[in-house]
């Protein structure tokens, strides 16, 4: 069974840092690009970062560029999002999502999400 499981969310003060992880199983992780997508409470979906299977290409949304860093460890089937200088508006559920490869830029499998709350 294809599975993505996020972890690392929690309560953090404005200006703080947090590292999210996503554990992948049930598929060849090293063959797929991956993304992080977030959803603020009661709001819509926002794509924030993308990384190719070999980490050679990385993209960020303007809203997180310079503050967030995406990375992956194919040997450990894991995806990460290092978040610095967190702001109130970064409060959201963060999902990792798999790129189906044949249609690059879609999301065919999602984790259950991890909640990040930025508040003093």
Contact residues: another protein, CB under 8 A: 35, 44-47, 50, 59-62, 95, 100, 103-108, 110-113
Q: Least Å distance between CB 63 and another protein?
A: 9
Could you tell me which of 95, 86, 96, 80 has the C-alpha nearest to residue 117? 86
Q: Which two tokens stand for residue 50?
A: 């993308």
Q: Least Å distance between CB 57 and another protein?
A: 10
Q: Is 29 exposed, middle or buried (0-12, 13-18, 19+ CB in 10 A)?
A: buried
Query: Residue 60 or 68: which CB sits closer to another protein?
Result: 60
Query: Residue 56 or 62: which CB sits closer to another protein?
Result: 62
Diameter of the chain measured on Cα atoms: 43
Query: Residue 11 or 45: which CB sits closer to another protein?
Result: 45
Query: Residue 14 or 26: which CB sits closer to another protein?
Result: 26
Q: Least Å distance between CB 66 and another protein?
A: 14
Residue 86 CA to its chain's centroid (Å): 15
d(CA 41, CA 118): 12
Q: Least Å distance between CB 62 and another protein?
A: 7
């Amino acid at each position: 069974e294809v599975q993505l499981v996020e972890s690392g969310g929690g309560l953090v003060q404005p200006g703080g840092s947090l590292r999210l992880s996503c554990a992948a199983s049930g598929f060849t992780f090293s063959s797929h690009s991956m993304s992080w997508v977030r959803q603020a409470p009661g709001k819509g979906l926002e794509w924030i970062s993308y990384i190719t299977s070999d980490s050679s290409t990385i993209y960020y949304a303007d809203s997180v560029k310079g503050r967030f860093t995406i990375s992956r460890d194919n040997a450990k089937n894991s995806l990460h999002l290092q978040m610095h200088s967190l702001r109130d508006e970064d409060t959201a559920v963060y999902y990792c999502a798999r790129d189906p490869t044949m249609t690059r830029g879609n999301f065919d499998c999602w984790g259950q999400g991890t909640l990040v709350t930025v508040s003093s």
